[in-house]
Structures are given as C-alpha cells and as structure tokens.
Amino acid sequence: MSSSSELRRRVGREPGQEGGDKATSTPGTHTGSSSRARNLCLVLLCGLVVCALALYTYVSLQGPLPPGTHRLLPFLPLRGGAGPGGAAKQPRGAPQPAALRDPAWLAARAHPLSVCAPKINMTSKESYSLWAQPKGRMGEQLKAEIAHLAERHGANPFPPHVTVLGDIEKPRAEMEALMEQLAARTKKYRINFTDVTRGSIFYQCVYLLVAKDPGTMAAAQAAREVFGRTTPPYMPHLSLLYSDMEDGERLKVVDYEIGRLYGENSSYDTLMVENGYDVDSISLWYTPTDDTGLRSWCLVGEYELQG
C-alpha cells in the first residue's frame, strides 16, 4: 500500500485525475468557433455573388459574336471547334485562317444586300471594296438609320460601313489571297465619329465623318500597301445616304440627321449612345461603282484582323 501511495505522490495526482492537465473546454469556446465559421461562410457567399454579378455585367456589355465562336472571359473571342459555324482546331503554332465563313453570319452582315455566289455573274467591271463594318447594337442602329433615310428619299439601303479602300480592280481569287495578307498584318482599332456632314458626289451624299485616328489611318495605309494602290488623301466616313440630290436638299438631310442622332429630335431608337465602334474584322465586297442601284453588290467574305 505504501508503495502505491508513493507512486501517486511522484506523478502528482490521485486516481480519477488522469485528465487534470488537459484544458477544460467551456460552452463559450464552442459558441465562438461556430460564430467565426458562420461569418467566414457569409463572406465567401457574398464574394461569389459579387463575382457572378460582375461576370453577368461583363457578358451583357459585349457585342454579339459570329456564330460558332465563343468568348473566353475576360479575354478576346476564340474560335469554336469543328462543327456548324466553327473552324476545325489547328495544331499549336499553326497559322489561323482570317476568313469568317459561316453562311448565316455572312448573310446577316450583308443584309439588306446579299452574299456573293462562288462565281460572280459580272454585268460590270470586276471591282471590289474593303469595308470596316460596325457590329452589335451600333451596327443595328446605323443599319436602321440608313434604311429610314433610303425610304424617306427613295434611295437604296446598304449595310453601314467605313470604306478602308475602294474601287480595286483585281481577280476575285487574288483579292481573297491579298485579304488574308492584310488581315494578318492589321491590328484591331476603333472608329470615332466627329460630325454629320455632306459631300458632292452620289456615294458621299450625307455621312458621318470619321476621325483620322492612328489606328484608322494605319489600316488604310496597310491596305494601300498590300493592294499596291496609290489614292488621294484618305477621308474616312460612314455614309448614311446615297443620292444625287441637290446640295440644298443634302443640307436639310444633314440637319435632320443631327436632330435624330444627337439632338432634341432623337429618341431611344435613334439617339447615338456611342460615338464610334471597334473594328476587329474587314469585309471584302464586290462593288462595281457604275451600279448605283446596288443590285449587283455582294459580300465576298469577312476577315478577322490578326496583326
């Protein structure tokens, strides 16, 4: 018995006190841990909600993409895989084709005109133009405005565009090959409008004047180099009406358009909420200039800028 008492004295405890050196938990400790866990979950949930709202806002602000393409947020559009409207996947490092070939996409871009057949039945000289066309809401707004003016003045509607280079007389196959070269060396840029004004020829009746910004002028210069053309000084503009009307009538249309697009006469449908648009592709059009009725004009193809 004495040996047992001595052993207990050495370890400093009596029977039943084995857990005496352990920290005693209290109800307050468990309550604090639960509260911290709940707060952490609440913070994480709020963060997810904020991220979801930011993602939704970003996607809502983006313009529509061509069929068969996909947007990798928050970066630039990427081509889809093989399938309807999508390009086949290329090996890493392989050159990517610049042409956008989806028929439905091209038809929408050509409206109210048409897409060229594989072989054009030419009734005029073989002449082509390069256009920078607006997309998304801006494209639809300008298309509607051009159609409105055409109906109002008995003219022909056409897709909104800024001509990068016009009246190019080369065979179609050569034009398509040169377009690939131009797309490969031209960087994406932005077009900015500066004024509504008028010109003195049929194709410059009334138009939106475009600023001679570096990107706009660089694209025009690249086109002249690739196609081997020397032209008068470049005046970028987006035509709103093709007509031979007298100058006094043109001035009236200018005043009318200023009111619709920028002034008190504008409405939600006509007010210019943006004063320009981004250019990420250039389209090739068959546009014989002697066909002022635009009946033979058609879209050959559209080429994504990759410079």
Q: How sure is the predictor about 261, in pLDDT bands with cuts at 50, 70 and 90?
A: very high
Query: Would you state the pLDDT for residue 213?
Result: 97
Mean pLDDT of the chain: 80
Structure tokens given for 273? 């909420």
Within the chain, what is the greatest distance between any pair of CA atoms?
Answer: 129
Q: 3-class secondary structure for the chain?
A: CHHHHHHHHHHCCCCCCCCCCCCCCCHHHHHHHHHHHHHHHHHHHHHHHHHHHHHHHHHHHCCCCCCCEEECCCCCEEECCCECCECCCCCCCCCCCCEECCHHHHHHHHCCCEECCCCCCCCCCCCEEEEECCCHHHHHHHHHHHHHHHHHHCCCCCCCCEEEEEEECCCHHHHHHHHHHHHHHCCCEEEEEEEEEECCCHHHCEEEEECCCHHHHHHHHHHHHHCCCCCCCCCCEEEEECCCCCHHHHHHHHHHHHHHHCCCCCCCCCCCCCCEEEECEEEEEECCCCCCCCCCCEEEEEEECCC
- Predicted confidence at residue 16, as pLDDT, reads 45
The predicted structure's pLDDT at residue 36 = 79
Q: 3-57: per-residue pLDDT in tens?
A: 444 534 444 444 444 444 444 444 555 556 677 777 887 888 887 877 777 766 6
88 with 82: CB under 8 angstroms? yes
Q: Report residue 79's pLDDT band, with 50, 70 and 90 as the boundaries.
A: very low
* Predicted local distance difference test score (pLDDT) of residue 18: 44
In this predicted structure, the answer to whether residue 246 has a pLDDT above a threshold of 90 is: yes
pLDDT band, residue 263 (cuts 50/70/90): confident
What is the reported pLDDT for 96? 62
Residue 273: pLDDT band (50, 70, 90) is: confident
Q: CA 94 to CA 100: how far, in whole Å?
A: 17
Quickly state the pLDDT bin for 143 (edges 50, 70, 90): very high
Residue 205 pLDDT: 97
Asked, as a colleague might, if the bond just before 66 is cis with ω within 30 of 0, I would say no
What would the mean pLDDT of 188-199 be, rounded to a whole number? 97
Q: Which residue has the tokens 């910004």?
A: 213
- Asked whether 55 and 48 are in contact (CB, 8 A), the reply is no
Higher-confidence residue of 99 and 174: namely 174
Q: Which is more confident, 77 or 268?
A: 268
Average pLDDT over residues 202-221: 97
- pLDDT value, residue 146: 96
Q: What is the structure's pLDDT at 40?
A: 80
CB atoms < 10 A from the CB of 191, how many?
22
Which pLDDT score, from 0 to 100, does residue 58 have?
54
Helix axes 172-185, 214-226, angle to 10 degrees: 140
Query: Given this model, what pLDDT does residue 30 score?
Result: 53
Boundaries of every domain in the chain: 124-304
First and final C-alpha spacing in the chain: 96
**Arithmetic mean of pLDDT, 152-174:** 96
List the one residue out of 174, 192, 124, 121 whose CA is nearest residue 284: 174
- Pick the more confident residue, 78 or 186: 186
Q: Is residue 175 over pLDDT 60? A: yes
124-304 CATH: 3.90.1140.10
**Residue 184: pLDDT band with limits 50, 70, 90:** very high
pLDDT tens digits, one per residue of 91-114? 444 456 778 878 888 899 999 999
Distance (Å, whole) CA 93 – CA 32: 56
At 55 the pLDDT is 66
pLDDT at 164 over 60: yes
| Parallel/antiparallel/unpaired status of strands 99-100 and 162-168 | unpaired
Residue 65, pLDDT > 60, answer no
